[in-house]
Amino acid sequence: MASVIQYYEGINSVAVIGNYLPRQCGIATFTTDLVEALSTEAPDINCRAVVMNDKPEGYPYPEKVRFEINQNKLTDYSVASEFLNISQVDIVCVQHEYGIFGGPAGSHILKLLADLRMPVVTTLHTVLRDPAPEYREVMHKLSDLSDKLIVMSRKAFDFLKDIYAVPEEKIAFIHHGIPDMPFIDPNFYKDQFGVEGKRVLLTFGLLSPNKGIENVLQALPSVTKKHPDVTYIILGATHPSILKAHGEEYRISLQQLVHKLNISDHVIFQNRFVELKELCEFLGTADIYVTPYLEEAQITSGTLAYAMGTGKAVISTPYWYATEMLAEGRGIIVQFKNSEAMAEQIIDLLDDDVRRNAMRKKAYTFSRAAIWKEVSQRYLEVFSEVKLNRARRPRPRHSYIENIKSITNFELPEIKLDHLKTLTDDTGILQHATHTIPDRVHGYCTDDNARALMVAAMGRKYLISGGMDFDYLSSQYLSFLQYAFNVEKGRFRNFMTYARQWTEEVGSEDAHGRALWGLGKAVVFLENPGQLAMATTLFGQALKAVEHFNSPRATAFALVGMHAYLQKFSGDSEVRRIREILADRLFKQFENNASEGWLWPESALNYANGKLPHALLLSGQWMQRSDMVDLGLRTLEWLLNVQTEKGHFVPIGNNGWYEKDGHKARFDQQPIEANAMIEACVEAFNITRDKTWIDNAVMCFQWFLGHNDLNMPLYDAKTGGCRDGLMADGINNNEGAESSLAWLLSLMTLQKLYDDEILKQSSSQSTD
């Protein structure tokens, strides 16, 4: 131990931030292995983990985990930094992957690091070659906040220098750690997996479509024709994020391909996440390890490192990490998606025992520097270096609280549903509140219960929040809508007193349209079969009336609901027929009434204006009507110009609205206007991919947070509700249902947008 003590003299405590087993992902495996390796190599150091949770209940972690962070809750990051500072941790080591941290481009982690007092060492599991601006900015700030950046490939080293201008002395290369396994004959473990006497090909890792396994399967008929004793083992559970979004779609497609190619006797699917010991035994069975990823943009791969460390002959596609690791005869590179070349190389290796064994030995010998004992010593050297440097050259504490906002001009608050629960009773959601107290005088309305249904249905999918019974809430709001529907009239009633008495037999067209909007969204998001059946049936019953509606807003609300419904049941011909009628009617209302200086189908701008271009964009896109899409974009841009002053959103006030050729009412500004514009701008981005539309959505969203005429926030961070409006003399402090639901729908819309964009980035630039 004497040679090791110098690596960590003066270091008593290390905290490693990342994911952790039993969470199933590559970062979790790496973080767990690193903590265990550091603890083994330096038992005097108190090495613990700070982990990111992607679900409210977390995971049954071992005692090495000392602190858990809700990855989407910014305040948790602040509390974590305070915990680490109080605990007097000497070194923090971050396992960085954009997708595991909350905020735009994973920016929440910057808040934690900015508040730390101790040195920070960051291991980069992804380094993007062509980063979007927000990802580039996060990496620059991450570099600034870190005393040292660790990379696991030479190419990543070069990217940091050449693309991100990180000084060379700030970067350290350390191999991806691997277990210390003996160099054994592949036949040693084959009997325990039922492949004794077989030639085994192996691919392992969490399953996702970027793995390219289908190309190996397509190569197998040629291989088995020459070597009928070949068996291909596909080891690994489906990646949790893929499973959540798409189920087992990819695995099923592979199984169908196996059946189509008539190679069922040569393929074994092991659909599970295996522990290290069993994984090494599976690796031990392999004669050839195959890593057939589809894209070059992968800067490291734990699966490849493990395979080489167990002395496997490897055939791989030329992604960055493989090209580097398999150079100088340590493996074979085959071009992407070339199953014929893959088959040829597999056959050649199986034919040539001498070449295959020489390749195995080269890979194994090269990888000895990557066993965890060696890797942990290198980490300890880096920890010692940065601690010494910090002592010699103290640095001022950073504060990126405001600067984080520059990534996308704002920071998404957490989604908090306390006030929603307060307003909801066993009938439904009450319309109004006096301050934060539900106001029973005004009772209930269909409008708000339809909006609340959307929040409850969407919340189930996009919200990490303990204690929320979304099934219960969805049932309450659905039950209200069912009771609101007047079967004899085929229309929704709208207003109900607190004594549960309807004040009308038929509500407005707008209320009916909003009900369809809420039901359509619910059909997409609800998972409870009974609720889904109820929402679908009620949607179908209520749809008939809208065919003859003339209100542009009612038409728009209904169209947005129909679009959502058709995402679930795209083959419903009746809904498609009515959508075409309504979309064409709305389009013609614009054509017949709009003019060059007034791009609007009515003589006044009043409420929920953004919903009209939103409906045009959705309908035009899916009906392949470019003229409708163009009109939607032009109208939305015009609305933004009308409602933007000096870089902030100024919605049309409902104290007079905005008559054509008249004066625009400045106040009372309502949350519903911001919500309608946010949803329309996000859809414009989805269609055009022009990030200017995200900027516009953010500008409208900032209105809630205080970037408005009075510099006063309408969002109530304590309750999670929203004040009712911006008045000439201040804020209307009542937090009614319409305002609070408009806020929650806006926040969920942007949260979904950023989650989708982060997922695209992280999946295309995956580390494993």
Q: What is the pLDDT of residues 297-341, one digit of tens each?
A: 889 988 899 999 999 999 999 999 999 999 999 999 999 999 999
Torsion angle of the four alpha carbons 136, 139, 145, 147, in this order, in degrees rounded to the nearest 10 = -130
Nearest C-alpha neighbor of 412 from the set 100, 713, 750, 714: 750
Contact between 20 and 396 under an 8 Å Cβ cutoff? The reply is no
* Domain match, 97 and 208 both: no
Kindly report the CATH number assigned to the domain that includes residue 705: 1.50.10.10
The secondary element (H helix, E strand) that includes residue 251 is: helix 249-261
Of 341, 368, 395, the residue that ends a domain is 368
C-beta pairs of 57-61 under 8 Å, 24+ apart in sequence: 57/466, 59/20, 59/22, 59/23, 60/22, 61/20, 61/22
Residues 195 and 169 in one domain: no
Residue 412 domain flag: no
Q: Which residue has the higher pLDDT, 548 or 559?
A: 559
Query: For position 280, what pLDDT does the model report?
Result: 80
In degrees, rounded to 5, the angle at the alpha carbon of residue 238 between the alpha carbons of residues 305 and 232 is 60
Residue 712 pLDDT class (50, 70, 90 cuts):
confident
Same domain, 423 and 525: yes
Note whether 339 and 386 are same-domain residues: no
| 622 located within any domain | yes
> Which residue from 260, 254, 261 is spatially nearest to 219, judged by alpha carbons?
261
Task: Give domain status of residue 648, yes or no.
Answer: yes
497 vs 703: CA distance, rounded Å? 32
Q: Does residue 743 carry a pLDDT above 80?
A: yes
Q: Are residues 344 and 395 in the same domain?
A: no
Q: Band of the pLDDT at 757, cuts 50, 70, 90?
A: low
Q: Does 273 lie in the same domain as 388?
A: no
Q: How confident is the model at residue 708 (pLDDT cuts 50, 70, 90)?
A: confident
Q: Which of 481, 586, 486 is nearest to 544 (CA)?
A: 486
Contacts 24+ apart (CB under 8 A), 271-275: 271/236, 271/237, 271/238, 272/235, 272/236, 272/237, 273/24, 273/206, 273/236, 273/237, 274/235
Over 90: is that where the pLDDT of 387 sits? no
Give a yes or no: residue 523 inside a domain. Answer: yes
Q: What would the pLDDT profile of 504-534 be if each residue is shown by its tens digit?
A: 999 999 999 999 999 999 999 998 999 999 9
Mean pLDDT over 614-620 rounds to 97
In this predicted model, what pLDDT tens digit does every residue of 92-151 receive, in sequence order? 999 999 999 999 999 999 999 998 888 999 999 999 999 999 999 999 999 999 999 999
Give the SS3 label for residue 438.
strand
Total number of domains constituting the chain: 3
Based on its alpha-carbon atoms, the radius of gyration of the chain, rounded to whole angstroms, reads 29
Phi and psi at residue 48, to the nearest 5°: -130, 170
Pairing of strands 199-204, 230-235: parallel
Q: Which residues pair with 285 in a beta bridge?
A: none
Helices (H), 623-658: 626-642
- Digit-coded pLDDT (tens) for 177-230: 999 988 888 888 888 888 888 999 999 888 888 889 999 999 999 999 999 999
Q: Which two tokens stand for residue 169?
A: 């002395």
Q: Quick check: helix, strand or coil at residue 316?
A: strand
The per-residue pLDDT for 592 is 92
Say how far apart CA 429 and CA 473 lie, in whole Å: 10
How do beta strands 230-235 and 267-270 pair?
Answer: parallel
Q: Are 374 and 223 in contact (CB under 8 A)?
A: no
What's the start-to-end Cα distance of the chain, in Å? 34
| 494 and 436 part of one domain | yes
Listing DSSP states for 133-182 in one string gives HHHHHHHHHHHHH-SEEEESSHHHHHHHHHTT---GGGEEE-PPPB----
On whether residue 766 sits in a domain, the answer given is: no
Instruction: Determine which helix (DSSP H) or strand (DSSP E) holds 439, and give its type and residue range.
Output: strand 437-445
CA distances from 293 to 318, 335, 579 (A): 8, 10, 42
Please report whether residue 765 resides in a domain. no
Res 393: pLDDT:
61
What whole-number percentage of the chain has pLDDT above 90? Answer: 72
Q: Which DSSP string do the residues of 561-595 spell out, in sequence order?
A: HHHHHHHH-TT-HHHHHHHHHHHHHHHHHHHHH-B
pLDDT of 406 strictly over 50: no
Residue 758 has pLDDT above 70, yes or no: no
Statement to judge: residues 590 and 554 lie in one domain: yes
| 10-50 pLDDT per residue, tens | 799 999 999 999 998 889 999 999 999 999 999 999 999 99
| Beta carbons within 10 angstroms of residue 191's beta carbon | 11
Q: Examine the domain organization and report whether 333 and 440 are in the same domain.
A: no
If you count them, how many residues does the chain have? 768
What confidence category does residue 400 fall into, taking pLDDT thresholds of 50, 70 and 90?
very low
Same domain for 433 and 334: no
**Contact indicator for 106, 100 with CB cutoff of 8 Å:** yes
Q: Which strand ranges, in their side-by-side order, compose the sheet holding 199-204? A: 267-270, 230-235, 199-204, 288-291, 313-316, 332-333
CB 438 within 8 A of CB 165: no
Domain assignment present for 759: no
pLDDT digits (tens, 9 = 90+) for 463-505: 644 445 788 999 999 999 999 999 999 999 999 999 999 999 9
DSSP class of 722: B
In whole angstroms, give the CA distance from residue 166 to residue 156.
Answer: 11
Average pLDDT, the chain: 90
396 has pLDDT over 80: no
Mean pLDDT, to the nearest integer, of 621-640?
A: 95
* pLDDT > 60? residue 397: no
Q: Is the dihedral of CA 323, 328, 332, 333 positive or negative?
A: positive
Q: What is the pLDDT of residue 471?
A: 86
- Which residues span the domain enclosing 207? 186-368
> Residue 604 pLDDT > 70, yes or no?
yes
What pLDDT shows up at residue 3? 43
Query: What are the tokens at 479?
Result: 């039950």
| 337 and 226 within one domain | yes
SS3 for 515-536, per residue? HHHHHHHHHHHCCCHHHHHHHH
pTM: 0.54
Q: What is the pLDDT of residue 729?
A: 54
DSSP 347-399: HHHHH-HHHHHHHHHHHHHHHGGGBHHHHHHHHHHHHHHHHHHHHHS--PPP-
Distance of CA 245 to the CA centre of its chain: 10
Secondary structure element (H or E) that encloses residue 53, with its range: strand 46-53
Q: Pull the structure tokens for residue 194.
A: 């039922």
SS3 label, residue 92: strand
Same structural domain, 202 and 273: yes
Residue 411 has pLDDT above 70, yes or no: no
pLDDT at 358 over 90: yes
- The one-letter amino acid at 462: Y
Q: Which two tokens stand for residue 680?
A: 């329309």
Sign of CA dihedral 521, 525, 531, 534: positive
Dihedral sign computed on CA atoms, order 469, 472, 474, 477: negative
Phi then psi for 311, rounded to 5 degrees? 75, 50
Whether residue 763 is contained in a domain is answered as: no
Q: Domain containing 396 — which CATH number?
A: 3.40.50.2000
The residue among 352, 385, 407 that closes a domain is 407
